[in-house]
Structure 1
Amino acid sequence: MINLREILMDELNRLDILKNKSVEFLKKAPEGSLYITNNKKQCQYYWRKSKEDRHGVYIKKKNKKLIWDLAQKEYTLKLLTKVEENKKYIEKILNKYNFDEGVQVYEKLNPLKQTIVHPYVLPEEDYVEYWYEYQKNEKEKLSNKIAKRYMIEDELEIITENGEKVKSKSEKILADKFKSMGIPYAYEQPVLLNGYGYVLPDFKILNKKTRKEYYWEHFGMMDDREYAEKTIKKIENYEKNGIFPGKNLIMTFETKQHPLSMRIVSENIEEFLV
């Protein structure tokens, strides 16, 4: 689901970066402006130090920095004007646009009428319940397409707080962390990667606020050469199927000497999931 507020906030941040960069340059830029004429197919450069200076002082071509600074100044001033305009438009939208209108309309209905209508936009709690049910049904439907080597052995006794069997202590740590923070997740939810087949990402996760889905893969044996090579191949196939690290794929890594970092886990959760 596209989150308009998130997109607008990202654009506002981008414009702020442009504004700051422009302001910093203008603080050091020379006074006046650049005037260019084309005399016998050769450019001649003049420095207008004020608006009253119609022609300006001739600039020798070897003074490239001054020529560049003056030209850059004109560009930067025009860009800054547009940036300021667009910032005002976005800020106005963020202040006035009701991003949760569908949920609010439903929640304000008479409770008796809520049981009758089918809302187009579900409240967060209802959406999470629907999401869990959908993941469960999809997993059951695709279970016969999953290679046996991916199946969890019955004798495994690593159990999460949600009562799921997982394949490693690190997966349990991650699952329990998601549960403690109220982050909806599905363990080893099948996904089809064209050119690779069905795979079972460690976790499929839902950001409740944005309703955007992510896959979280923990690669826990990176000091094993064969495992590391398979990991690279798997990541490449994720990317070929539009699942990119830093976009909708979160990855953590581990070796015998470097165990799972909870600091990195928390930073990823903060960045993508809450």
Structure 2
Amino acid sequence: MNKDTLFIEKQLENLNLLEQSIKEASYGNLALQSHKLRVSRSHGKHQYYTREANSNTWHYLPQSELEKARCIAQFEYDQQLLLKIKKLRYHLEQYSKDYSFYQLENLYNQLCVGRKELINPRIILSNQAIRTWYAEHPGSQNPKEIETPYETERGEIVRSKSEKILADLFYHKGIPYQYEPELILGTRKIYPDFILFHVRKRKSAFWEHLGLINDPSYCQYNFTRLDDYELNGFLVGRDVLFSMEATKHPLNMKLIEQKLDIWLNN
């Protein structure tokens, strides 16, 4: 079974589970399926109106009936989400290149703020995933003093001009990153230069910058470090990316961007 087939099957499984959970959660709101909800804003506050599907008359819902508005909004959203799931399932089963799980997220993102306030989106949104990732991977954990500080565009302090260039590149490409997070590698605690977050795939990769490859002892140390990564399940090229430079060989930014693009698009 190839990689694409495994991906399709996993996404179908995810969609089926999501569909089942939505139907179970919506079962108690079936009585509201004939109701429609309208959201407006007055004096800085959201106001909610409802009407029967066969009526043109809207009725204002006071604060005491906010739960009814929430139930109607959630039911309407769930029905739209189920339609999106059905469409995505069709594309998956046809191996369509048009399939994108982000269509589910876009359904929520396109709602007005007032409706969003009433709704549980049922999925982990990208911005939520990014916030969680940052919280789980704090940066600047290396206790070693930074002797020659360089400030990145994002505002953190790094140890070299090359690390600043890399950090600013990640920043401009919109790649969530942290500088020198803590990682337990076997029995050792190390501080990779960077950790990156692939938002679409919800996975991380480390980036190591080898800045003194003309120094034999430095090369030996970092060869051992890369070997340790692989011995602990982090494969170079997949989970660990790296850049290099030497006295007469500066950073090859074109090659670095190619590596990033391959990682982002795989």
* Matched-pair contact (CA < 8 Å) for 1:152–1:167: no
In 2, the alpha carbon distance for the partners of 1:236 and 1:190 equals 18
* Matched-pair contact (CA < 8 Å) for 1:156–1:165: no
1:158 and 2:160 matched: no
Aligned-pair CA distance for 1:156: 2.8
Aligned-pair CA distance for 1:4: 7.0
1:218 corresponds to = 209
2:170 corresponds to = 178
Q: 1:213-252 counterparts in 2 under 5 A?
A: 213-252=204-243
Q: 1:133-148 counterparts in 2 under 5 A?
A: 133-136=135-138, 143=141, 148=143
- Change in CA separation of 1:4 and 1:188 when aligned onto 2, cut-off 3 Å: farther
What TM-score does the superposition give when structure 1 sets the normalisation length?
A: 0.57
Is the partner of 2:209 in helix, strand or coil?
A: strand
Q: 1:70-109 counterparts in 2 under 5 A?
A: 92-94=94-96, 99-100=101-102, 102-104=104-106, 106-107=108-109
Is the partner of 2:94 in helix, strand or coil?
A: helix
Unmatched 5+ stretches in structure 1: 9-88
Alignment-mate amino acid for residue 234 of structure 1:
R
In 2, the alpha carbon distance for the partners of 1:96 and 1:173 equals 36
1:122 corresponds to = 124
**After superposition, what is the alpha-carbon deviation per residue over 1:160-189, rounded to whole angstroms, capped at 9, x for unaligned?**
111111111111110111111111110111
* Matched-pair contact (CA < 8 Å) for 2:149–2:160: no
1:258 corresponds to = 249
* Matched-pair contact (CA < 8 Å) for 2:92–2:99: no
What TM-score does the superposition give when structure 2 sets the normalisation length?
A: 0.58
* Matched-pair contact (CA < 8 Å) for 1:206–1:273: no
Is the partner of 1:94 in helix, strand or coil?
A: coil
Q: 1:178-197 counterparts in 2 under 5 A?
A: 178-195=170-187, 197=188
Aligned CA RMSD, in angstroms, stands at 3.1
- Change in CA separation of 1:228 and 1:205 when aligned onto 2, cut-off 3 Å: same
Aligned-pair CA distance for 1:131: 2.3
In 2, the alpha carbon distance for the partners of 1:264 and 1:7 equals 29
- Change in CA separation of 1:134 and 1:117 when aligned onto 2, cut-off 3 Å: farther
* Matched-pair contact (CA < 8 Å) for 1:152–1:166: no
- Change in CA separation of 1:97 and 1:5 when aligned onto 2, cut-off 3 Å: farther
Is the partner of 1:243 in helix, strand or coil?
A: coil
Task: Give the fraction of aligned pairs with identical amino acids, expressed as a percent.
Answer: 29
In 1, the alpha carbon distance for the partners of 2:182 and 2:122 equals 27
* Matched-pair contact (CA < 8 Å) for 1:223–1:256: yes
Give the number of aligned pairs: 181
In 2, the alpha carbon distance for the partners of 1:152 and 1:5 equals 49
**After superposition, what is the alpha-carbon deviation per residue over 1:33-61, rounded to whole angstroms, capped at 9, x for unaligned?**
xxxxxxxxxxxxxxxxxxxxxxxxxxxxx
* Matched-pair contact (CA < 8 Å) for 1:156–1:167: yes
2:134 corresponds to = 132
In 2, the alpha carbon distance for the partners of 1:192 and 1:120 equals 33
1:167 corresponds to = 159
* Matched-pair contact (CA < 8 Å) for 1:183–1:273: no
- Change in CA separation of 1:170 and 1:6 when aligned onto 2, cut-off 3 Å: farther
Aligned-pair CA distance for 1:5: 8.9
In 2, the alpha carbon distance for the partners of 1:170 and 1:194 equals 28
